Structure 1
């Protein structure tokens, strides 16, 4: 079962920095995420979602491929690519993977100030102690989680902790 974690950061840049750190941890197989989205509230009060993957672009690419194959069968590959890309883009735009977009927008609109950002992470699997150590001192305020109280408290302490100073070995 996946866990949802939503953390408020003062700026979109800080949220992006933390998301990149989490993605680096994923490359080291310390965490497996299903989605990582940054929601930002602009001066008009509208919420913009910064998704990891564009389902519209992925749908268009897949549709183009299948359209090309079908177009070759009917001796009109260009028409097939165009029709496939259009139908794939529409299907991709209507697809919502990971965290529900309406949920993220609704939660963000009510809970943060203009210019702040919320990092939503859907965690499938995690090596807790190593990930908490890597996220030590990044800041942020927990908005909502599906973690139990013990793990949520450990995350809160790690976010608030002062990062370890580099050792003075060899000085």
Structure 2
């Protein structure tokens, strides 16, 4: 079962820095992220979501390939495979992008948007869904951000949450 962790930051670029560190930990096989979203709120109060997995682009890419393949096959039946490829690719890319836009993976977008409304202007938040991790090594590495992050929401056990608070120096949420 995956664990949800939402961290808040006082600066607009801190969440992206922590996500980059989490990506580095993934390369070392110390952390396995299922999903991650960086949320920023600018000075005007507008919320921006930066999804780690762009489903719209992935759907369009897959639709382009599969639509082109089926277009060539149908085009060969009509003795015009080039036209079939072009039409099939266009229809496949469009329908794949639409399917990607309508689908949701990982952390629920509605939850992200509702919780994002609570962060102050000129700040950021990091939503991560962790499949598995090496907690001691991950917490030791993330302690470099001590005093910069606060826990907004988590599905961790009380013991694991206390360890995370200690590593981040989060006394406000204690």
Distance 1:61 1:77 in 2: 14
Find the residue that maps to 1:16 and give its secondary structure. helix
Runs of 4+ in 1 over 6 A off after TM superposition: none
Cα shift at 1:137: 3.3
CA distance in structure 2 between the aligned counterparts of 1:12 and 1:95, rounded to whole angstroms: 28
2:81 aligned residue: none
Match of 2:85 among 73, 77, 81: 77
Could you tell me how far 1:43 is from its partner in structure 2? Answer: 3.6
Structure 1: how far apart are the matches of 2:15 and 2:134?
21
1:62 CA displacement? 0.2
Q: Could you tell me which residue of structure 1 aligns to residue 128 of structure 2?
A: 121
SS in structure 2 of the partner of residue 8 of structure 1: strand
TM superposition shift of 1:45: 3.1
* Residues 12-161 of structure 1 aligned to structure 2 (within 5 Å): 12-75=12-75, 76-109=84-117, 111-138=118-145, 139-160=148-169
Structure 2: how far apart are the matches of 1:121 and 1:127?
Answer: 15
Structure 2, unaligned stretches of length 5 or more? 76-83
Q: Which runs of 5+ in 1 are unaligned?
A: 162-171
Return the alpha-carbon distance in structure 2 between the equivalents of residues 149 and 82 of structure 1: 51
Q: Distance in 1 between matches of 2:42 and 2:116?
A: 11
| Number of aligned residues | 160
Q: Following the alignment from structure 1 to structure 2, what is the Cα–Cα distance between the partners of residues 113 and 22?
A: 24
CA root-mean-square deviation: 1.2
